[in-house]
C-alpha cells in the first residue's frame, strides 16, 4: 500500500497531499494571536517580519504545484483557501526558525556550491546552458536583486542539509520493518449489511405541523442573503490583439536592435591556465607574491618560453597541470566569473595578466576562438512578432483604460456615456451575494469586492476599471435587495424534503443499531438481508490500502476492528455517508507475508520508515525551537 501511494492521488488522498506540502515545515504551534503594527505584516518570528505578500506568494506556489502535478485528478473544490494560506504561513515561520538555528551554529555552504546551485536551475538556461543575462532579467522582472535571491538559495540549501542530517540520525531496526510489513500488507475477510435511507424516504409522511415547527425553529436556514445585480462594460485585450498588425520591417528592426544582446552567443574558447593556489582568506602579501610569480612567467612566455612547459612545472591545478594547463573548450557560464571575464577579453594566442579567483591566482591563455553563434532572424521571427503585438496592445489598452476611467468618473452615475463613446455594450449579471457566484463575472473576488464597496453600493457610483487579466471591466449596481427571510410557502418543498431525509436517516441509523445487536446475538447475515432497505455484501481478501469496489468508510472501519475470536466474528457499524449505514462482520485477519518480499522491497520499507522517523525528529526539533521562540501571528491578515 505505502509503495503505491504516488499512484493514488485522488479523493481523500488529495487532502493528504495538501498536508504533505507543509512537511517538514508544517508543524503547528501555539502563538499569541493579536493585532500588529503594520497591515503588511502577517507574523513575526523573534522580531523578524513575515509579510502578507510572502504568505500569498507561497500559497500561490502551493496551488500551482498541486495543479501542475495532479492536473485533472485534483478537484479544485477540495481547496480550502484559508487552510492552505495558514499552511503557507506555517512553512514560512518554520523556515525562519530553522534559518536562525543554522545561522547560530555557523552552518554555511561555499560560494562554489552556491554558484553551482544557481547555474543548475533550468529556468535561467538558454540553449541548454546558464545565461547571466536571462538570470538578471528574470530577477529584475520579479523585483529581486541577485544578492537577495542568492541569499535565499544559500539559506534553503543549508536548511536542506540540516534536514538530511536529521533524517540520517533515524535508526530503523529489522523488527520495525517486519512489523510495518505485517500491518501494511495485511488482508481481511469480512461481510457487511448496507442500509440505504432512500428505502425509508417518504415526503408524504411529513405533516404540515412538523413543517411549520421546523421552519419556526430554523429560520436562519432560510435567509436569502443581501444580493446585487450589476451592469458593466468590458474592454477585452483579445479583441484589440486581433486588430494589431506588425509589419515585416518592424520585426526585422527589432531583431537588429536586440540581436547582439539577446540572440548572439559568444564563441566558445579553448584555454590553458597556470594556477598558483592561494586560499580565499589569504593575506594581501600572499596574493601579491603569487601575482609576482605569475607576472614573471608571463614575461618569460612573451620572450618565447612555452606556456605548457611552465604549467607542467608550476601549476597547482592537478587536473590540468600534466596536460600543460589545458582546460579544453569553455563556454559562458561554466567558469567562475573572474576567470570567465578575463578569458573572454583575450584574443587567440594572448595571455592574461594574473587573475584572482576563489581558487587562487591564474595566468590564462586562449589558444582557439570559435566564431560567435547568432540565431538567425527566421528562427526568432515569430517570437519577436508576438512581443511587438503584446507591446502595442499593452500601450493601447493603457490608453483605453485611462479613457474608460475618465468617462466613468465624469459620469459616475451611468455607464451610458462610456458605452456610447467607446462602442462598448452594457452587459448584466444575475443576482449574487457577497460570496460571489460559481461562474461568470461575479465569480471574481475583485468584482465582488467592488460591487459591495461603499462607493458602488451605497453611493451608486461606477467602480474604477477592474483588471481581470486580459480584460478590464467597470461595474455599477443595477439592483439591490437586502437580506430577508424567505416565507414558508417559498421554501415548503425544501422543508418537506429535509424533514423526510432526516426521518429516513433516523430510521436507517436505528436499523443499523438493531442489526448489529442481532448479529452479535447470532442471527445470520443472510436472514437479515431480507429486511427492507438492507443488502448483503461479501469482501474476501481485501488488502489494506488496495483498490476495492466497497465503500471506503466500510473498508476503513473493517481495518480498525479488533481481530475476531475463535468463537465469534467481530461486529461493528459505521456511517457510510449521505444517510447510509453499514453493519460489518469481520471473519478473518491475515498478516502480511514477510518472506514474500525481496530485498529491494524491504529496502523501500526501510526508507519509508526512516523518512517517517526523520520527520518526527525534525518535528521535535521544531517544537523545541517554537517553545523557545517569540512567534506572533496577526490573525486578521492571513
CATH of the domain at 73: 1.10.4030.10
E strand or H helix at 190: strand 187-195
How do residues 78-100 score in pLDDT, each as one tens digit? 666 778 889 899 999 998 998 88
CATH number for the domain that contains residue 309: 3.10.50.40
Instruction: Provide the CB-side half-sphere exposure for 60 (13 A, CA).
Output: 6
pLDDT-derived band at 156, boundaries 50, 70, 90: confident
Q: Is residue 526 part of a domain?
A: yes
Q: Could you tell me if 346 and 445 lie in one domain?
A: no
CATH number for the domain that contains residue 235: 3.10.50
pLDDT at 487: 94
The cell numbers describing 539, all together, are 469482501
Q: Could you tell me if 580 and 619 lie in one domain?
A: no
Contacts by residues 6-13 (CB-CB < 8 Å, ≥ 24 positions apart)? 8/547, 9/69, 9/70, 9/73, 9/74, 10/73, 11/552, 12/552
pTM (2 decimals)? 0.49
Entry field: residues in the chain: 638
Domain that holds residue 526: 186-201+489-590
The C-alpha atoms of residue 177 and residue 607 are separated, in whole angstroms, by 10
The C-alpha atoms of residue 96 and residue 527 are separated, in whole angstroms, by 63
CB 311 within 8 A of CB 325: yes
What pairs with residue 273 in β-bridges? 364
CB 50 within 8 A of CB 89: yes
**Mean of the pLDDT values across residues 405-426?**
95
pLDDT-derived band at 454, boundaries 50, 70, 90: very high
Q: Is residue 545 part of a domain?
A: yes
E strand or H helix at 292: helix 284-302
State residue 170 phi and psi, 5-degree precision. Answer: -70, 125
212 pLDDT higher than 90: yes
Domains: count for the chain? 4
114 pLDDT higher than 80: yes
DSSP-assigned letters across all residues of 580-626: EEEEEEEEEEE---GGGS-HHHHHHHHHHHHHHHHHHHHHHHHHHHH
The cell numbers describing 480, all together, are 439591490
Residue finishing a domain among 482, 510, 533? 482
pLDDT at 325: 93
The C-alpha atoms of residue 35 and residue 545 are separated, in whole angstroms, by 45
Helix axes 111-120, 146-168, angle to 10 degrees: 100
pLDDT at 8: 34
The cell numbers describing 70, all together, are 495532479
Q: Is residue 162 part of a domain?
A: yes
Query: Which range, 36-40, 133-137, 194-198, has the best average confidence (pLDDT)?
Result: 194-198
Q: Could you tell me if 623 and 580 lie in one domain?
A: no
Q: Is residue 210 part of a domain?
A: no
**Cα of 625 vs its chain's centroid, Å:** 25
CB 463 within 8 A of CB 456: yes
| Unique residue bearing C-alpha cell 601549476 | 315
How do residues 235-289 score in pLDDT, each as one tens digit? 988 887 777 888 999 999 999 998 988 888 888 889 999 999 988 888 999 999 9
Q: Is residue 254 part of a domain?
A: no
How do residues 472-525 score in pLDDT, each as one tens digit? 999 999 999 999 999 999 999 999 999 999 999 999 999 999 999 999 999 999
CB 91 within 8 A of CB 26: yes
Q: Is residue 427 part of a domain?
A: yes
E strand or H helix at 363: strand 360-369
Q: Could you tell me if 196 and 53 lie in one domain?
A: no
Instruction: Give Rg (Cα) of the chain.
Output: 35
103 pLDDT higher than 50: yes
pLDDT at 275: 94
Q: Could you tell me if 555 and 576 lie in one domain?
A: yes
Q: Could you tell me if 530 and 400 lie in one domain?
A: no
Q: Could you tell me if 539 and 558 lie in one domain?
A: yes
Answer whether the bond into residue 193 is a cis peptide, omega within 30°. no
How many CB atoms within 10 Å of residue 97? Answer: 24
Amino acid at each position: 500500500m505505502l509503495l503505491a501511494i504516488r499512484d493514488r492521488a485522488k479523493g481523500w488522498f488529495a487532502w493528504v497531499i495538501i498536508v504533505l506540502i507543509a512537511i517538514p515545515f508544517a508543524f503547528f504551534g501555539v502563538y499569541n494571536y493579536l493585532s500588529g503594527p503594520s497591515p503588511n505584516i502577517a507574523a513575526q518570528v523573534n522580531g523578524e517580519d513575515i509579510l502578507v505578500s510572502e504568505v500569498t506568494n507561497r500559497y500561490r506556489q502551493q496551488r500551482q504545484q498541486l495543479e501542475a502535478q495532479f492536473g485533472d485528478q485534483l478537484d479544485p473544490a477540495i481547496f480550502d483557501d484559508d487552510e492552505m494560506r495558514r499552511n503557507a504561513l506555517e512553512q514560512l515561520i518554520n523556515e525562519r526558525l530553522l534559518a536562525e538555528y543554522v545561522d547560530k551554529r555557523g552552518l554555511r555552504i561555499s560560494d562554489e556550491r552556491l554558484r553551482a546551485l544557481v547555474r543548475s536551475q533550468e529556468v535561467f538556461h538558454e540553449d541548454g546552458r546558464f545565461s547571466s543575462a536571462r538570470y538578471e532579467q528574470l530577477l529584475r522582472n520579479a523585483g529581486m536583486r541577485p544578492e537577495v535571491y542568492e541569499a535565499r538559495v544559500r539559506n534553503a540549501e543549508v536548511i536542506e542539509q540540516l534536514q538530511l542530517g536529521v533524517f540520517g540520525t533515524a535508526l530503523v531496526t529489522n523488527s520495525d520493518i517486519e512489523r510495518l510489513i505485517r500491518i501494511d500488507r495485511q488482508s481481511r475477510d469480512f461481510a457487511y449489511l448496507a442500509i440505504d435511507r432512500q428505502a425509508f424516504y417518504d415526503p408524504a409522511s411529513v405533516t404540515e405541523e412538523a413543517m411549520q415547527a421546523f421552519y419556526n425553529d430554523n429560520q436562519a436556514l432560510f435567509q436569502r442573503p443581501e444580493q446585487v445585480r450589476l451592469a458593466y462594460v468590458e474592454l477585452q485585450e483579445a479583441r484589440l490583439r486581433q486588430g494589431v498588425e506588425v509589419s515585416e520591417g518592424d520585426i526585422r528592426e527589432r531583431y537588429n536592435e536586440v540581436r547582439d544582446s539577446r540572440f548572439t552567443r559568444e564563441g566558445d574558447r579553448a584555454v590553458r591556465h597556470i594556477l598558483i593556489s592561494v586560499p580565499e582568506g589569504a593575506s594581501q602579501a600572499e596574493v601579491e607574491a603569487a601575482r609576482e610569480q605569475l607576472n614573471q612567467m608571463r614575461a618569460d612566455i612573451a620572450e618565447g618560453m612555452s606556456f605548457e612547459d611552465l604549467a607542467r612545472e608550476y601549476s597547482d591545478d592537478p587536473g590540468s597541470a600534466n596536460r600543460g594547463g589545458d582546460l579544453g573548450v569553455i563556454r559562458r557560464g561554466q567558469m567562475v566569473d573572474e576567470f570567465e571575464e578575463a578569458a573572454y577579453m583575450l584574443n587567440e594566442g594572448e595571455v592574461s595578466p594574473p587573475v584572482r579567483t576563489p581558487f587562487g591566482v591564474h595566468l590564462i591563455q586562449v589558444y582557439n576562438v570559435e566564431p560567435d553563434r547568432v540565431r538567425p532572424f527566421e528562427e526568432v521571427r515569430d517570437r519577436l512578432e508576438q512581443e511587438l503585438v503584446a507591446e502595442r496592445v499593452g500601450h493601447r489598452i493603457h490608453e483605453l483604460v485611462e479613457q474608460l476611467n475618465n468617462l466613468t468618473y465624469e459620469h459616475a452615475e451611468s455607464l451610458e456615456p462610456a458605452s456610447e463613446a467607446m462602442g462598448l455594450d452594457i452587459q448584466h449579471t444575475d443576482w449574487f451575494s457577497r460570496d460571489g457566484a460559481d461562474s461568470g463575472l461575479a465569480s471574481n473576488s475583485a468584482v465582488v469586492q467592488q460591487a459591495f464597496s461603499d462607493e458602488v453600493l451605497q453611493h451608486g457610483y461606477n467602480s474604477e476599471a477592474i483588471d481581470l487579466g486580459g480584460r478590464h471591466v467597470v461595474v455599477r449596481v443595477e439592483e439591490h435587495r437586502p437580506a430577508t427571510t424567505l416565507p414558508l410557502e417559498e421554501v415548503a418543498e425544501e422543508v418537506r424534503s429535509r424533514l423526510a431525509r432526516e426521518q429516513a436517516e433516523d430510521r436507517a441509523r436505528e436499523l443499523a443499531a438493531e442489526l448489529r445487536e442481532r448479529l452479535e446475538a447470532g442471527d445470520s447475515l443472510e436472514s437479515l438481508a431480507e429486511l427492507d432497505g438492507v443488502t448483503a455484501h461479501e469482501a474476501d481478501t481485501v488488502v489494506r490500502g488496495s483498490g476495492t469496489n466497497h465503500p471506503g468508510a466500510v473498508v476503513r472501519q473493517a481495518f480498525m476492528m479488533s481481530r475476531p475470536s475463535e468463537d465469534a466474528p467481530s461486529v461493528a457499524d459505521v456511517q457510510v455517508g449521505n444517510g447510509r449505514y453499514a453493519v460489518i462482520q469481520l471473519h478473518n485477519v491475515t498478516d502480511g507475508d514477510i518472506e514474500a518480499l525481496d530485498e529491494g522491497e524491504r529496502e523501500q520499507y526501510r526508507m519509508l520508515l526512516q523518512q517517517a522517523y526523520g520527520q518526527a525528529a525534525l518535528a521535535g526539533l521544531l517544537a523545541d525551537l517554537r517553545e523557545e521562540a517569540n512567534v506572533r501571528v496577526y490573525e486578521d491578515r492571513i
